[in-house]
Amino acid sequence: MSVLAVEELHSALALRDLTDPAQGPHAVQLVVDSIRTALGAAWPYTEIWTRRDHPVVPLADNYDNLGYASDAVTREARYTRYASASEVLRSHTSAMIPPALRELAGSESSDVLMICAGICYRRDSVDWQHTGTPHQLDLWRVSRNVTLGEPELEDMIARLVDTVLPGQTYRTVPAVHPYTIHGRQIDVLLDDQWIEIGECGVAAPHVLRMAGLDDSWTGLAMGPGLDRLLMLRKGIRDIRLLRSTDPRVAGQMLDLAPYKAVSSMPPVRRDLSVVVDESADVSAEVLGDKVRAALGPDADAAESLEVLGETSYDDLPTGARERLQMTPGQRNLLVRLVLRPVDRTLTDAEANALRDKVYRALHEGPVLELIG
């Protein structure tokens, strides 16, 4: 198991959680507030519990107590950031739900809406709508007063979309989660493309039972992505803008009014030819995480990373194999890196230096082709 170094853990925890009012105002908080108000009005006799836990959580609450199998692939270190053998940086705000359910089991409450918002830590691709530190919202209504099922779930979905994205066309498609039954994925239509905004379902009975709630309890579980909701609400097409320190941008991250684009910086494209081993994981999520780690404080300069092509050792011309000193079984990837900071223009020298950092992080061959 790969565990984060102390410096890596401190760096992750130092990143601002945009959902936390104590760390300064942000429009993400207005999205949460609007949802809380809408659901509170729809369910006037339901208690509202707002929970904010430390982002380092027990491994059991991140996975086991939500019904994840012991061999679930998401537990692997390539997807989960381990702080220790028994603790992780939460990969979803659902990690706050098991302790909330246990608290409910020991209380006198009988109908509760749990609202859990916060930053999460994942390994994800580099593009306009993904980040390794997304903000998520978990909404669980749990009750022993009323039976909560699919009709109530449909109503909850409609209220979420109508509140945050009024008038937006949406759909739900079946989805499987270890902590729900009748699971759904919620998509909204953007420029003829369906964009996922969250997942939901009826709370799985075994998850409620593990927390000490008997079979008189039923529930609804929903986990919308807050970054995605805010971007769709304001018309933002670059997730990095949510954290921009440019006053022209940051000033617009304090309300839900449509975003007014500021002058766009020119993109810098660099194509990289890298060698990887036969067993190397070249998924977008793993490559994206390597890029962010390599660039460190300059990670936001990376706008996108795309694998344009992959050629096996056997299919590569002899001259190329010799130049790269490849060995049988290795692969050659053509990767396009697009660099574009949101607040400044890169010089060629700066772009080349960043390119070389990414190249070193991805390349596994003996011959380095640096340009910086």
Fold of 268-362: Alpha-Beta Plaits (3.30.70)
pTM tops 0.75, yes or no: yes
Name 257's Cβ contacts closer than 8 Å, sequence gap at least 6.
Answer: 234
Span 6-234 CATH architecture: 2-Layer Sandwich (3.30)
User: Which CA distances in Å does 265 have to 38, 130, 246, 334, 339?
Assistant: 39, 20, 12, 25, 10
- Sign of CA pseudo-dihedral 53, 58, 59, 61: negative
In this prediction, residue 123 carries a pLDDT of: 83
**Distance between CA 272 and CA 362 in Å, rounded?**
9
**Distance between CA 35 and CA 174 in Å, rounded?**
23
In this prediction, residue 129 carries a pLDDT of: 80
Tell me whether domains 6-234 and 268-362 share a fold. Answer: no
Q: Domain limits of the chain?
A: 6-234, 268-362
Phi, psi of 53 (to 5 degrees): -105, 165
Question: Contact at 8 Å (CB) between 105 and 211?
Answer: yes
In this prediction, residue 372 carries a pLDDT of: 64
Q: Which two tokens stand for residue 138?
A: 């978990």
Tens digit of each residue's pLDDT (9 = 90 or more) over 92-142: 999 999 999 999 999 999 999 999 999 999 888 888 788 999 999 999 999
Tens digit of each residue's pLDDT (9 = 90 or more) over 308-364: 999 999 999 999 999 999 999 999 999 999 999 888 889 999 999 999 999 999 999
Name 364's Cβ contacts closer than 8 Å, sequence gap at least 6.
Answer: 274, 275, 276, 277, 280, 330
Stretches where the chain sits below pLDDT 70 are: 263, 372
